[in-house]
Structure formats: structure tokens, C-alpha cells
Structure 1
Amino acid sequence: MTTKSSLRILAAFVAMLLFAAGCNVPATEKPATAEELSQMNRDFAAALNAKDAVAAANCYADDATLYPPNESAVTGRADILNYWKGAIEAGATNVSVKTIATGSEGNLGWETGQFQMDIKTPDGKVVVDKGRYTELLKRNTDGKWVSTMGMWNADAPPAP
């Protein structure tokens, strides 16, 4: 066998391997729209405004974690439910969100945005809290985007 024919056989073999490898690459999914990714936070704000802590908690995955400002992490839907129940009982209301940016890759996504909410202080005054948030999202088995990790911070320092 000549060197030339050995190179042709080797080239044909490499071409078949590359073709076979390409057949095993999963089809890339179309990225989620900003509308789809930001729906979680719109549903969440509506739930808090309706004083429905269960609906608010259902915006999160079972094993999600919250990182509230100046507080310990809150992990798991049951603890997230209690956290938002406490926020509702403490007077969180008039919650609104505004998406700034989103992105996704397959079943994982993210959203950043701004929030605003009214909070009643123990003396009955209403304080407007404004800030920014980041959500890491995943598409659940029903095709709905839920938060796996949420973090936010206020524009102003906490009230004394």
C-alpha cells in the first residue's frame, strides 16, 4: 500500500468519524424570549399584591434559594413560602417589577431588573423600597420558568 492510498483511507475514516459525531449533537433549542423569562417575576409580584404567599412560593423551584439583603439565605420552597408569608404579614404591598435584561441557554435562563414595593413600618408609616434583582431560572417539566436562585438589593440603606 502506498503512502498516498493510506492517506486517502485515513482521510475517509476521519471524515466518517466527524460525520458520526455530528449526528450525536442535540439540536439547539431556540432561546426563550424576554417575555417568557420575565413572566416568573410578573406572576410573583401579582401574588404578593394579592397577599398569596403560596402563589409567590410556587414561582420557585423546590430546591431554590433566596438571598435577601442583610439576611440569611432561605432554601427550599417551604422556607421560601414562610419568608414571603412573613413579608406579606409585615406589610409588603404595591409590588412592581421591570425587566432590564434576560438570556437563556436550553432550559436555563436569567433575568435582571428593578423592583419597587411599599413596606409598612411598625409605626404605620409606608416606606417605598426600590432596588435591583437577579433571578437564575430553569424551565420545569411543565415548560414554566421558575426561579432557582434569587438575589436583590435596595437602592437605599435599610431603615434604622
Structure 2
Amino acid sequence: MTDLDQIKYLDSGMAEAINAKDGGAVRNFYTDDGAIMPPGAPMMEGLDAIQDYWQAAMDAGLSGVSIVGDSIDIDGDTALTVGTLSGEMGGQPLSGKYIVSSRRTKDGWRIHRDIWNFDA
């Protein structure tokens, strides 16, 4: 699998794990020192915090998630993806955009920094 394919899989695999409501699987897409920056919340660092956040969101009704990288730039062992997202939270539609910084690790590409927001 090429670097580009692996980075694209970060999006589709994350969406699949979220839709399966599997916080442990979501956790595996991040680096050990990864961080997320959700809208309206402080930055959360580390795999336990990341898993707890996503599991709580899934338990609260996050579903039908689609994550699509519209632009992927790879530079050595780092990559930057800019894309769009959609889904539902508690039956209400949501859409937004994101920026993800990924790193090549011994286990393949993983998300290092993840920030997103929603359209009004």
C-alpha cells in the first residue's frame, strides 16, 4: 500500500470505526502522543483521552460518519490532510471540515494532530 493509500485509509478507517462505535479501534489511528482539538472543547492529548472523547461522542449518538480528504500533502514522514466530514449526532445532520497532521510511525501512518469544526 502506498503512502497516499495509507493516509486515505486514515479517513475511511476512522469513519468505519466511529460508525461501529468502537473507541478502541478509533484510538489505533492516532500516534501515542496524538492530540485532538474538538470544537468548543480544550485540546486532549494521549491515547486514553482520545479514546474517551470518541467513545463518549459515539455513545451520545454520533453515527453515519463520512470523512473525505480533499487535499493530501506528503513531505517525508509527515502529511497534512484537509477535508470534509458529515454524519449525524443524535439524529441531527452535521457537516464540517478538518485538518489532520499525520506521521509515519513504525506501525505505518498515524494521526498526530486532529482539528475540526462544523458548518453553521
TM (normalized to structure 1)? 0.72
Asked whether the 8 Å contact 1:32–1:103 carries over to 2, the reply is no
CA drift of 1:155 comes to: 0.6
Identify the residue that residue 105 of structure 2 maps to in structure 1: 140
Q: RCO greater where, 1 or 2, for CA within 8 Å and sep 6 or more?
A: 2
Match of 1:83 among 53, 57, 74: 53
Q: Percent identity?
A: 28
The 5-angstrom pairing of residues 107-146 of structure 1 reads 107-120=77-90, 126-142=91-107, 144-146=108-110
2:42 to 72, 88, 106: 72
TM-score, length of structure 2 as denominator length = 0.94
Question: Which residue identity is paired with 2:105?
Answer: N
- Alignment of 1:100 with 2:70, yes or no, is yes
Q: Aligned equivalents of 2:28 and 2:83: distance in 1?
A: 20
CA shift at 1:111, angstroms?
A: 0.6
Q: 2:113 aligns with which of 138, 146, 149?
A: 149
Which has more helix, going by share of residues?
1
Alignment-derived partner of residue 17 in structure 2:
47
Tell me the alpha carbon deviations over residues 34-65 of structure 1, each in whole angstroms, 9 at most, x when there is no partner: x3322111111000111111000110011111
For residue 76 of structure 1, report the CA deviation from its aligned partner. Answer: 0.3
SS in 2 for 1:71: coil
Please list every run of at least 4 consecutive aligned residues from structure 1 whose deviation after the TM superposition is greater than 3 angstroms.
none
Q: Which runs of 5+ in 2 are unaligned?
A: none
Answer 1 or 2: which has greater strand percent.
2
Counterpart Cα distance in 1 of 2:69 and 2:86: 12
Runs of 5+ consecutive residues of structure 1 not aligned to the other structure: 1-30, 121-125
- Counterpart residue type for residue 69 of structure 2: T
Q: CA RMSD in A?
A: 1.2
> Which structure has the larger Rg?
1
CA distance in 1, matches of 2:24, 2:6: 21
CA contact (8 A) 1:59 1:146 kept: yes
> Number of residues paired by the alignment?
119
Aligned equivalents of 1:146, 1:108: Cα separation in 2:
10
